[in-house]
Structure 1
Amino acid sequence: MKKALLLISTLLFVVVLSACGGGNEGGSGEKSIDTITLADAGWDSIRFHNSVAQTIIENGYGYDTEVKPGSTAATIQGLREGDVNVYMEVWTDNIKEVYEEATAAGDFEKVSTNFDDNTQGLYVPTYVIEGDEERGIDPLAPDLKTVEDLKKYPELFEDPEDPGRGRILNAPSGWAVAETIDQKFETYGLDETMNNFMPGSDAAIVTSLADAYNSGDAWVGYYWSPTAVTAMYDLTLLEEPEYDEDTWKETKGTEFPPNDVVVAVHKDFKEQAPEVYDFLSNYETSSALTEQALTYMSENDASADEAAKWWMQQNEDVWTEWVPEDVASKVKDALK
């Protein structure tokens, strides 16, 4: 009799325990996570897209959200390990080996392509090559066309801390693309006459460019689109040989490869928040749409959240296609 009672008690305990834990498996309709964490790898466009996603996730689906800042390497590792749930801008070819390894291992997955019409590389203000008649600027280097040509112009792009040598602004040290620029320095022989200057942040690059542009001085450095910078300033991307996969892998001595910028999620996210997963699977913009928001941020000294709200009000036809009608209605009410 005692054994029978013990068996019944044990079975009842198991049933109660299973019932209490059912919500965490997603079977009862309850959320298996309460807070969705997005990555901030340090540039304005990812912050804008984070804010758009957060607005929809919080107001349309009822989840809390938070942002985890860090370098590209740290945030991608966070996505692999589950400390980050959602990554709104993975520049796939900038971290190609890691991206392919992580997706092959199933650590995270691409759910959509945010945009794929971007460019990146070494830019100069267009007046450096063509001049600017309205501003009274004569062409400073009319024969400058390619990245390799830069080594002929150390005096024009003089390093203020190292007279006689030029300065090229790289990406910040925490960005994966900085290593690519390092290798291009060696491949094109830029280090013969030019210094590879690594700024501390994106803001430092922008300040340097703005100061030079406003003064009509020569400037050369890494940048990319879509950004408010490339929308605001007339810049020319210096040429490189046409992209070739083998050459790129060996020396980086070509133009940057086509770079899908994707939305990725941790491997468990589909089960943790399936309705948000579906929303992110529909997320798609373009460089032009992204630059709208970035230009608004720059011209109005606005935060990413403020730019997201403005952009969503201006582009209701775009984002409402990503979500069901009832979700869109909730978000539109929140934007009023």
Structure 2
Amino acid sequence: MKSGIMGAASALALTVGLTNAAVADDCGAVSIAEMNWASAELMANVDAIILEEGYGCDVTLVPGATETTFASMSERGQPDVAPELWINAVRVALDAAKEEGSLHALNDAPITDLGEGWWVTPAFHAEYPELDTVEKLLERPDLFPHPEDPSKGAFIGCPAGWGCQLINANLFRAFEMEDKGWRLVDPGSAAGLDGSMARAAERGVPWFGYYWAPTSMIGKYEMVLLPFEAEWAGSENWDECIALSEQDCLDPQPTSWTMSEVETVVTSGFMDKAGPAASYFENRVFPGDVMNEMLVFMNENQALGEDAAFEFLLTHEEIWTEWVSEDVADRIRGAL
């Protein structure tokens, strides 16, 4: 009986080994860009674990950033995957690469509820639910007294030198906020911007200003993004005025914020070898609130991408198991 059991175990091990080898043959070596911000770091490590343990891929993570990663993928075909590529910065060249077939977008919304804009604290939103758009709130500068001049409202913009500083300054003019009683506040630095939001949220003081998601700050303080009543005024107004310096934007028009677009982009080489792993990227969507939750976890625990990826896979099985087949999910569970 003992020899029979051992023989069965050996046969099972051989079967599993052959199955994993077959999966690996289908996938092969895959390089994934680990971009230099937290959400992309998390996504790259989640992708690495799932591809290695679920599909038998041999994964390498390579450092990346939006423009440098795109250039390398376009010109050299490496890395194979950019999990979180913010395409506004590379749209024209990316469209051309898609047209010629060298790059492919397997997912045009890998994270929900992302983007830039103007936010308020949840406490303020609950106290003044009627001020539920930017334009309505702009009529009440008295609710956000400037620390140096309480007769004016304080709108917290971007630090000098950031691209969003120009955008916020031009939108400030487009909506005639100075005439309405507002002053544009330069927070001085990323720490200054975060600190102003944190102090207001923790003290129950109203705060109105620029930020973006997904981020740990938005997740931690559950900030509320206000929609614009103004319709999108077109790319000419945005690209050739709003996004430029004040002297190059003489007549900014009121507009909603430009849509932030993120895609999971892969090379044609990946498509040739990926097999079933390609369908994983097509299905892989992180809910915005969960992504923010994970960014808070990373921030508060000083967790790197790999640690955060295991935390996500262990605590949000109900999400990632929807991205893969049951047999793939079983292999991943076994590895965890």
TM-score interval (norm. to shorter):
0.5 to 0.7
DSSP-derived class of the 1:322 partner: coil
Query: Equivalents in 2 of 1:181, 1:152: separation in Å?
Result: 17
* 1:108-132 residue CA offsets vs partner (Å, 9 max, x unmatched): 221023134435301132445766x
The amino acid of 2:117's aligned partner reads: G
How many Å apart are 1:270 and its aligned residue? 1.0
How many Å apart are 1:258 and its aligned residue? 5.1
Query: Equivalents in 2 of 1:230, 1:214: separation in Å?
Result: 13
Query: Equivalents in 2 of 1:74, 1:199: separation in Å?
Result: 25
Relative distance call for 1:329 and 1:223 in structure 2 (3 A) is same
Counterpart of 2:251 in structure 1 is none
Is 2:236 the counterpart of 1:235?
no
DSSP-derived class of the 1:110 partner: strand
* TM-score, scaled relative to structure 2: 0.66
Query: Equivalents in 2 of 1:275, 1:332: separation in Å?
Result: 18
- More moved, 291-300 vs 265-274: 291-300
How many Å apart are 1:293 and its aligned residue? 2.6
How many Å apart are 1:52 and its aligned residue? 0.9
* 1:84-109 residue CA offsets vs partner (Å, 9 max, x unmatched): 32122234457655544443454422
- More moved, 93-102 vs 233-242: 93-102
Relative distance call for 1:178 and 1:262 in structure 2 (3 A) is farther
Counterpart of 1:247 in structure 2 is 234
Counterpart of 1:187 in structure 2 is 174
Is 2:86 the counterpart of 1:86?
no
Query: Equivalents in 2 of 1:220, 1:67: separation in Å?
Result: 38
Relative distance call for 1:143 and 1:288 in structure 2 (3 A) is closer
- Unpaired runs of 5+ residues, structure 1, are 1-28, 132-138
The amino acid of 1:149's aligned partner reads: L
Q: Is the 8 A contact 1:151 1:189 kept in 2?
A: no
* TM-score, scaled relative to structure 1: 0.66
Query: Equivalents in 1 of 2:99, 2:228: separation in Å?
Result: 31
Counterpart of 2:156 in structure 1 is 168
Q: Percent identity?
A: 21
DSSP-derived class of the 1:254 partner: coil
How many Å apart are 1:36 and its aligned residue? 0.7
Counterpart of 1:68 in structure 2 is 63
Is 2:137 the counterpart of 1:124?
no
The amino acid of 2:184's aligned partner reads: M
Alignment of 1:195-206 (within 5 A): 195=185, 199-200=189-190, 205-206=193-194
Query: Equivalents in 1 of 2:26, 2:285: separation in Å?
Result: 25
Q: Is the 8 A contact 1:243 1:257 kept in 2?
A: no
How many Å apart are 1:40 and its aligned residue? 0.8
Q: Is the 8 A contact 1:109 1:267 kept in 2?
A: yes
* 1:120-146 residue CA offsets vs partner (Å, 9 max, x unmatched): 301132445766xxxxxxx9xx97952
The amino acid of 1:53's aligned partner reads: D
DSSP-derived class of the 1:114 partner: coil
Relative distance call for 1:78 and 1:159 in structure 2 (3 A) is farther
How many Å apart are 1:57 and its aligned residue? 2.1
How many residue pairs end up in the alignment? Answer: 289
Is 2:201 the counterpart of 1:213?
yes
